[in-house]
Amino acid sequence: MLSDGFHDVPDGKLAMVVTHLEMRAAPPLRDVSLPDGVTLRKVTPTLEWYRDIFNRVGAHDWLWFSRLQMSDAKLNAILTNPDMAYYTLSKDGQDEALLELDFRQAGECELAYFGLTSKLIGAGAGRYLMNQAITAAWSRDITRFHLHTCTIDSPQAVAFYIRSGFTPYRRQIEVADDPRLTGMLGRDAGPHVPIID
């Protein structure tokens, strides 16, 4: 158990406050239209597609790195699992969003990854995609839809999830190697998080 006060984080590490959120029933959804020229599609992901969209949505701007650490075999086992579902939003012929739903735990769905590239942020596409996530999750026989986000992600994330019907229920501290110092990501990634090496 952590005591009150400041705690040093070793050089080369990131420390993140992780907020866990859940919903126990499908909330009412307000109707939201897709922005002009944007289409939703369900994806059967390949390694190449997934690594590309994962990088463009989250790795550079928000330091998403957990899936980048996985071997092709381990990641492919997740991508091909029938209890996983993937969606994207496309604009001008290019996919610009990642929605990953994980139904591997009986009776539950985890919103494993959710995000948009900068081409769609601010256009209303995020609200539309979240409505699709909620609808798809509760179309299955579940009693709980949950996710977690952290302080190196978008500062709007927690408020967006709460407005979407999720309730915070747990907070943790996660410490991990800074992926910009391991060479997994470039040093220009996550400019909102200073590098301390």
Domain locations in the chain? Answer: 14-25+41-177
Residue 147, classed as helix, strand or coil, is strand
pLDDT in tens, 43-90: 999 999 999 999 999 999 999 999 999 999 999 999 999 999 999 999
Q: Using CA atoms, how far apart are residues 177 and 110, in angstroms rounded to an integer?
A: 25
pLDDT at residue 2 is higher than 90:
no
Residue 126, classed as helix, strand or coil, is helix
Q: Enter the tokens of residue 177.
A: 């190697």
Q: Phi and psi dihedrals of 165, rounded to 5?
A: 115, 0
pLDDT in tens, 128-164: 999 999 999 999 999 999 999 999 999 999 999 999 9
Given 1.10.150.120, 3.60.20.10, 3.90.550.10, 3.40.630.30, which CATH number is that of 14-25+41-177?
3.40.630.30
Q: Whole-model pTM?
A: 0.95
